[in-house]
Amino acid sequence: MVYRDVTRSNHSDDPRKDGGAKLSNLAAPGDRLAAAIIDISVILAPLVLLVSSPFQLLFVRSLLLNQEVEFLLSVTAIATVVLILTVSYMTMMNSLVGGTLGKLVFGLRVLGIWDQKKLSVPAAFFRSLTWLLSLAFALLPFLAVLSDNKRRPWHDRIADSIVVSVNKANFGSPNVFEKMFVQSVLGSVAALVLVSSMAIGPTVWNGILDSGLLPFGDSKFASYCDEVDYAMDEWPRVETVSEEKRLNIVLTLFAAGEVSKSCLEKEAQKFIDVKSSENATAYLAQAFVHSENPELSNQYLSKVCDLSPESSSCTMSKVVEDWSDSKWSSVEAHFASFVEHTPLHISVWALRHFIERREFAKAEDFLNKLASQPSLANFLAQQRVRILAGTGRDRELNAVAVTAIESLSSEGRLRVAEKMCDFHSKADSCAGTKSQPCQLLKKESLGDHSILVSAGTAIQVARVIACEDDEEDYKKLLALLPMQESHDYAVAVKAKLEGRVNEARGEFERLARLPDVSSKMRKQVEVELLLLLESADELYASVEDWRQEEPDLDWGVRGEALLENATRSGDYDQAMKIAELLIDERFRKTSILRPYVYSLLQSKKMKEAQTLLQSEWGVAQLVDAGKSPRRGLASELPGQSDLDTHMEKLMKHYRSGVAL
Amino acid sequence: MIIPYLKGIIGFRLAPVTWCLVFLNALVMVMTMQTNELAQQNLEKQFDDEFYVSTQGRLYAQFIKAHPEDYSGFMSKLADMAKQGSEEKVTLLGSLAIRNTKFMNEAASYSFKGDQIAIQYWREKLIGIKKVQQIHPSYALGLSSQNFSIKQMFSYIFVHSGLVHFAGNMLFLIIFGGMVEPVIGGLATLLVFLVSGVVAALGFTVMTGETAAPLVGASGAVSGMMALMCCIYRNYPVRFVYWLFLPFKTYSGFVFLPAWVILGMWLASDVAGWLGTLSEIGGVAYSAHLGGELAGVFVGLGIYMLRFNSRESLFPREEVRPRVGEIQSFHEYRPSA
């Protein structure tokens, strides 16, 4: 079929004829866009808002009430209103008047391309439908205004229409720049769609669902903790009132650090809401939840005993009160009052307390009570490592560590690896950092930097990095440490290992002066500085200061560093004085026994050295050194050859000047 | 975008009462600014306390379920969801509770069940919040169910919630007042302003129902001025600013459209807003706007019927009457004296 190109006009030049336009006067794209803006903002938007307002109310209600059906209904209704109003308006205006209000304002007309007359109603109808559809395609079809020779997008082609200008001169067909622009836009969009649908589409969609941008990703109320749900299945033998079972479980998991405070809060709150009454155990939980608000927390604690004076929760509330006031003997008396059926969460707190206080035998009793709880595996493994390290049971410790690293979750493995790496590196300096736990820690942390936020982990990893033989590896690993303090610590330790003592001291002193350093790092740096004291006067002054301080765990750690320093520098009298202060059960560790025995030997106090090695503590060291099987402490007296071998090892240890 | 501009910011000489109203609003704004800021900061700090908000939400849920006859199905469902453990709904109810007159009046002495420590903590916080509300200008001078009197029906007009709220209302007061006052005189303008404000307050009370959240702002009164202006000028072409988001000269400027277009646009958006807003959630007081517009229309009709015989006598003599649809660029515009 041959058609006349009606845009090559045979018509008169009078723009007011033929519907008021010359077909050769193509409308400018800017005018069309401006006309659309007027139509939308002045006519359509107010009308749509008005007519759809009841559905908007339904939309808001359904969003707030998580009602999927009503939400979909309201969205459908609003979409229908938009559709009907837009199509009606555009159809009526285009067919009756030749253009919408916006087009009329800008002197534009919509005419049939064949007959240059106003559109028929069906044509106008399909034109408006297609116009709306173009919106759904991200406005891309409208780009044809810049690329088509007659500037006719989809909706004009469907209706065989063309938009022309009455008032202005011919805008003309698109030039090459306009066409190139459209091609580049379409090409970019196509590439983006292809890449996102293939590579990231499912991930993005799941992300949108999980982000909560859509209202109905997961309508389940998070009133309970998942961790407690899992534990409920594994924890059948909790010997408490069944309705408090969840509460006791969450208290236990919280005490073990396996759940967060918000989980405890959710469970406690849910329990109170369901019961609609007060409950001693729930109030105890609330006291932990609000631990950062001491006034509120104390109100909960005091109410626990008002509600249930004979209960274990009341005793635990007293433990918490005494704990915050550091009344340790009272705390221990409360724990001792639990003769039978100690609630598990109280056993966990007792275990933690006794480990912190270096009462390892008592801690082990509580550990054994908890041993059968799978949900506490990570926590128990870590505590067992601390007990074994604290009592110097090296062989058992290594066995436990190997099992733990193989069987625990990644978090549990890391916790154990950190403790074991600390143990190995302190025992055997850089050689210790080549151990499996240290290497595991290094590998995990460099794969996931977030774990290096913990100061304890960062310190261990920094030590491991400082002991790297290859300079390139050292620099590469150093650059990966995310926190400045661990970076600086590693540099200082490296300097110390390479004998640049002054440089190391300077670095540690600078680190100690920084205000933002974590408390754990600060304590570690203090210990390093004590280990680097060089002159006898400095050592003497530090020891005198140390003796005046209040004995606590940090005091004990600083004492060990002073003891180590005194022993290496040959000040055996000083070393023996320090050791005698540290010999208290709370601070008794392998790291005290060795330098103490060595100092005694160097001072020719053979009998005292022998007595020490023959004590329960000393025997434990020999047993774990693999000299003889453990047959009962009372019968275990080391023979002379055992003593000689042990002393030889000690001499070798100190003569080699092994650091850390 | 299209915004009425009319004669723009008219001079004091032509609209002295309008300007006095603006100055009075500004004076109240300045006098209450510091107290407003301190009280608002205090209130926000209270609502930063998650424990307080969540406790309040739980107690409100309990209260709603105990008084089903006083709450809508929507609130009842929200309460159900909160009681089932939805933290999101608990927090939402916690922030909505302060808007409910019945809860705010009765909760302090109501016997709630559950965590008595939390309830006591909440009661103490509530006492603190009520004390802050007593000095907060919006609560002290605004209109609410708890604070409903003849004095409040006037004082609320002169209090604004913030600088943007104030600036928006004053801009339109000057624009509409500047068109109205030269025609009807200063006293009538003042009366219209105040009467529209009072009717807006009544409209708010009737259409929104009981609420502890105060109504503040001159927008009801300004809506009345706007409606009156539209009634007086009706088909007369007045100036609008238009901007079509395109960075070219012809796509922004002034356009002359009939005055009634303003009333149409305002009325449509206020009706849509009123119908589409949940009264429990609050927000813009569309019902106050509608009340003010109603007052303005009645006054306009009354003035028209009682006072003037022909429309031409309403208008100051102008040399050239603009045409509807006439476009004027910004640099062609010359403000009138």
Please write the tens of the pLDDT for every residue from B139-165: 889 888 877 888 989 999 999 988 999
Residue B117 Cα, gap to closest chain A Cα (Å):
7
Residue B88 Cα, gap to closest chain A Cα (Å):
9
Q: What is the pLDDT of residue A277?
A: 82
Strand partners, B215: B143
Q: What is the pLDDT of residue A6?
A: 44
Residue A366 Cα, gap to closest chain B Cα (Å):
32
Interface of B with A in 176-215 (CB under 8 A): none
Residue A621 banded pLDDT, cuts 50, 70, 90: low
What tokens appear for A647 in the block? 């002393």
The answer to whether B87 contacts chain A (CB < 8 Å) is: yes
Q: What is the pLDDT of residue B111?
A: 92
User: What single DSSP character describes residue A144?
Assistant: G
Residue A121 banded pLDDT, cuts 50, 70, 90: very high
The answer to whether A286 contacts chain B (CB < 8 Å) is: yes
Distance of CA B89 to the CA centre of its chain: 27
pLDDT digits (tens, 9 = 90+) for A396-431: 887 887 787 777 777 777 778 887 887 777 655 677
Q: What is the pLDDT of residue A653?
A: 58
Residue A212 banded pLDDT, cuts 50, 70, 90: low
Examine residue B41 and state whether it is found in any structural domain, yes or no. no
**B141, B163, B184 - which closes a domain:** B141
**How would you classify residue A160: left for phi > 0, otherwise alpha for psi between -120 and 50, otherwise beta?**
left
**B85, B119, B141 - which closes a domain:** B141
Q: Is A287 helix (H, G, I), strand (E, B) or coil?
A: helix
Burial grade of A61 (CB within 10 A; 0-12, 13-18, 19 or more): buried
Residues B159, B266, single domain; the answer is yes
| Boundaries of domain holding A567 | 536-660
Residue A447 Cα, gap to closest chain B Cα (Å):
35
Inter-chain touch A33–B85, beta carbons under 8 Å: no
Residues B13, B99, single domain; the answer is no
Inter-chain touch B117–A300, beta carbons under 8 Å: yes
Partner-chain residue, chosen from A266, A276, A303, that has the shortest CB–CB distance to B113? A276
Examine residue B180 and state whether it is found in any structural domain, yes or no. yes
Residues B60, B130, single domain; the answer is yes
Q: How far apart are CA A607 and CA B105, in angstroms?
A: 84
Average pLDDT over residues A488-498: 85
Q: How far apart are CA A493 and CA A5, in angstroms?
A: 86
> CB–CB of B231/B300 below 8 Å?
yes
pLDDT digits (tens, 9 = 90+) for B204-257: 988 887 788 889 999 999 999 999 999 888 888 888 888 877 777 777 888 888
Which of B243, B275, B290, B327 to mutate to probe the A interface, most A CBs <10 Å?
B275
The answer to whether A46 contacts chain B (CB < 8 Å) is: yes
Average pLDDT over residues A330-344: 79
Which residues in chain A have their CB less than 8 angstroms from residue B117's CB?
283, 286, 296, 299-300, 303
Inter-chain touch B246–A34, beta carbons under 8 Å: yes
Examine residue A482 and state whether it is found in any structural domain, yes or no. no
Helix or strand run (H / E) with residue B242: strand B237-243
Helix or strand run (H / E) with residue A110: strand A108-112
Examine residue A38 and state whether it is found in any structural domain, yes or no. yes
Residues A141, A68, single domain; the answer is yes
Examine residue B336 and state whether it is found in any structural domain, yes or no. no
Residues B162, B295, single domain; the answer is yes
Q: How far apart are CA A240 and CA A312, in angstroms?
A: 11
Helix or strand run (H / E) with residue A163: strand A161-165
Residue B81 Cα, gap to closest chain A Cα (Å):
8
Nearest partner of B29 among B161, B122, B120, B154, judged by Cα: B161
Inter-chain touch A223–B85, beta carbons under 8 Å: yes
> CB–CB of A392/A624 below 8 Å?
yes
| Boundaries of domain holding B179 | 2-31+150-331
Mean pLDDT of chain A: 79
Average pLDDT over residues A122-132: 94
Average pLDDT over residues A582-599: 72
Inter-chain touch B246–A282, beta carbons under 8 Å: no
* Structure-model confidence comparison of residues B332 and A303, the more confident one: A303
Helix, strand and coil content of chain A, in percent to the nearest 5, comes to 70, 0, 25
Count of alpha carbons within 13 angstroms of residue A196, beta-carbon side = 8
Residues B315, B287, single domain; the answer is yes
pLDDT for residue A88 is more than 80: yes
Helix, strand and coil content of chain B, in percent to the nearest 5, comes to 70, 5, 25
Inter-chain touch A37–B244, beta carbons under 8 Å: yes
Q: What is the pLDDT of residue A206?
A: 66
Nearest partner of A573 among A529, A543, A532, A548, judged by Cα: A543
Search chain A and give the residue with CA nearest B327: A105
Q: Output the CA–CA distances (angstroms, integers) from residue B159 to B40, B169, B173, B269, in the order listed.
A: 14, 11, 14, 23
Residue labelled with tokens 């119908």: B275
Q: What is the pLDDT of residue B308?
A: 56
Residues B25, B158, single domain; the answer is yes
What tokens appear for A111 in the block? 């005419």
Residues B111, B188, single domain; the answer is no
Q: How far apart are CA B86 and CA A606, in angstroms?
A: 72
The answer to whether B324 contacts chain A (CB < 8 Å) is: no
Partner-chain residue, chosen from B2, B54, B78, that has the shortest CB–CB distance to A64? B78
CATH of residue A588's domain is 1.25.40
Nearest partner of A315 among A350, A290, A291, judged by Cα: A350
Alpha-carbon dihedral of residues A445, A446, A448, A454, nearest 10 degrees?
40
What would the 3-class secondary structure string for A570-604 be? CCHHHHHHHHHHHCCHHHCCHHHHHHHHHHHHHCC
Residues B130, B171, single domain; the answer is no
Residues A297, A163, single domain; the answer is no
**ipTM of this complex prediction, to 2 decimal places:** 0.82
Inter-chain touch A54–B276, beta carbons under 8 Å: yes
* Structure-model confidence comparison of residues A634 and A444, the more confident one: A444
Nearest partner of B165 among B130, B200, B215, judged by Cα: B215
Inter-chain touch B248–A30, beta carbons under 8 Å: yes
pLDDT for residue A657 is more than 60: no
Residue labelled with tokens 């025997």: A619
**A337, A359, A381 - which closes a domain:** A359
Examine residue B95 and state whether it is found in any structural domain, yes or no. yes
CA angle A277, A278, A280 (to 5 degrees): 145
Examine residue A462 and state whether it is found in any structural domain, yes or no. no
The answer to whether A283 contacts chain B (CB < 8 Å) is: yes
Percent of chain A exceeding pLDDT 90 equals 15
Examine residue A135 and state whether it is found in any structural domain, yes or no. yes
Q: Output the CA–CA distances (angstroms, integers) from residue A96 to A39, A111, A120, A130, A199, in the order listed.
A: 16, 11, 9, 19, 50
pLDDT digits (tens, 9 = 90+) for A344-394: 888 899 898 888 777 788 888 888 888 777 778 888 888 888 888 777 677
What tokens appear for A522 in the block? 């600060």
pLDDT for residue A541 is more than 60: yes
> CB–CB of B196/B300 below 8 Å?
no
Q: What is the pLDDT of residue B166?
A: 93
Inter-chain touch A53–B116, beta carbons under 8 Å: no
Inter-chain touch A221–B272, beta carbons under 8 Å: no
Q: How far apart are CA A275 and CA A613, in angstroms?
A: 60
**A340, A359, A378 - which closes a domain:** A359
What tokens appear for B193 in the block? 């302003």
Q: How far apart are CA B310 and CA B315, in angstroms?
A: 10
Q: What is the pLDDT of residue A89?
A: 96
Examine residue A415 and state whether it is found in any structural domain, yes or no. no
How many structural domains are present in chain A? 3
Helix or strand run (H / E) with residue B3: strand B2-4
> CB–CB of A204/A193 below 8 Å?
no
Q: How far apart are CA B180 and CA B198, in angstroms?
A: 19
Examine residue B183 and state whether it is found in any structural domain, yes or no. yes
Q: What is the pLDDT of residue A215?
A: 54
Residues A626, A554, single domain; the answer is yes
Q: Output the CA–CA distances (angstroms, integers) from residue A451 to A221, A481, A487, A520, A523, in the order listed.
A: 30, 11, 15, 15, 20
Residues B286, B183, single domain; the answer is yes
Partner-chain residue, chosen from B251, B264, B272, that has the shortest CB–CB distance to A53? B272
Q: Output the CA–CA distances (angstroms, integers) from residue A318 to A124, A327, A335, A351, in the order listed.
A: 82, 11, 10, 17
The answer to whether A56 contacts chain B (CB < 8 Å) is: yes
Residue A19 banded pLDDT, cuts 50, 70, 90: very low
Examine residue B202 and state whether it is found in any structural domain, yes or no. yes
Residue B312 Cα, gap to closest chain A Cα (Å):
28
CATH of residue B172's domain is 1.20.1540.10
Least confident of A61-65, A574-578, B233-237: B233-237
Nearest partner of A353 among A593, A588, A553, judged by Cα: A553
User: What single DSSP character describes residue A49?
Assistant: H
Which residues in chain B have their CB less than 8 angstroms from residue A224's CB?
85
Partner-chain residue, chosen from A52, A277, A296, that has the shortest CB–CB distance to B113? A277
Count of alpha carbons within 13 angstroms of residue A234, beta-carbon side = 15
Average pLDDT over residues B162-185: 91
How many Å is the Cα radius of gyration of chain B? 23
What tokens appear for A174 in the block? 């698109």
Residue A20 banded pLDDT, cuts 50, 70, 90: very low
Examine residue A141 and state whether it is found in any structural domain, yes or no. yes
Q: Is B328 helix (H, G, I), strand (E, B) or coil?
A: strand
Examine residue B43 and state whether it is found in any structural domain, yes or no. no
Residues B204, B275, single domain; the answer is yes
Task: Report helix angle A616-624 to A640-655, nearest 10.
Answer: 80
* Structure-model confidence comparison of residues B180 and B317, the more confident one: B180
Q: Output the CA–CA distances (angstroms, integers) from residue A454 to A94, A482, B332, in the order listed.
A: 69, 11, 68
- Winning range, highest mean pLDDT, from A600-604, A637-641, B203-207: B203-207
Residues A254, A328, single domain; the answer is yes
Mean pLDDT of chain B: 86
Inter-chain touch B246–A266, beta carbons under 8 Å: no
Partner-chain residue, chosen from A34, A223, A270, that has the shortest CB–CB distance to B251? A34
Strand partners, B239: B256
Q: How far apart are CA A431 and CA A325, in angstroms?
A: 42
Which of A81, A273, A275, A284 to mutate to probe the B interface, most B CBs <10 Å?
A273
Nearest partner of A155 among A132, A138, A171, judged by Cα: A132
The residues, any chain, with a CB within 8 Å of residue A40's CB and separated by 6 or more, are none
Examine residue A475 and state whether it is found in any structural domain, yes or no. no
Q: What is the pLDDT of residue A122?
A: 94
Residue B141 Cα, gap to closest chain A Cα (Å):
30
Residues A46, A124, single domain; the answer is yes
pLDDT digits (tens, 9 = 90+) for A180-205: 888 898 899 888 888 888 876 666 66
Residues A167, A245, single domain; the answer is no
Q: How far apart are CA A139 and CA A133, in angstroms?
A: 9
Residues B131, B191, single domain; the answer is no
Q: What is the pLDDT of residue A274?
A: 82
Residue B208 Cα, gap to closest chain A Cα (Å):
15
Residues A137, A255, single domain; the answer is no
Residue A288 Cα, gap to closest chain B Cα (Å):
14
Q: What is the pLDDT of residue B280?
A: 79
How many structural domains are present in chain B? 2
Nearest partner of B201 among B148, B245, B272, B162, judged by Cα: B148
pLDDT digits (tens, 9 = 90+) for B268-322: 889 998 888 887 777 778 999 999 999 999 988 887 777 654 555 555 555 567 7
pLDDT for residue A16 is more than 50: no
Average pLDDT over residues A571-585: 84
Examine residue A222 and state whether it is found in any structural domain, yes or no. no
Q: What is the pLDDT of residue A588?
A: 59
Examine residue B337 and state whether it is found in any structural domain, yes or no. no
**A359, A376, A398 - which closes a domain:** A359
Percent of chain A exceeding pLDDT 70 equals 81
Interface of B with A in 267-296 (CB under 8 A): 268-269, 271-278, 281
The answer to whether A270 contacts chain B (CB < 8 Å) is: yes
Which residues in chain A have their CB less than 8 angstroms from residue B81's CB?
65-66, 221
pLDDT for residue B258 is more than 70: yes
Residues B270, B310, single domain; the answer is yes
**B141, B172, B207 - which closes a domain:** B141
Residues A36, A147, single domain; the answer is yes
Q: How far apart are CA B161 and CA B142, in angstroms?
A: 10
Residue labelled with tokens 């424990």: B51
* Structure-model confidence comparison of residues B9 and A241, the more confident one: B9
Residues A123, A40, single domain; the answer is yes
Q: What is the pLDDT of residue A560?
A: 85
Partner-chain residue, chosen from A30, A222, A272, that has the shortest CB–CB distance to B246? A30
Least confident of A76-90, B44-58, B110-124, B237-251: B237-251
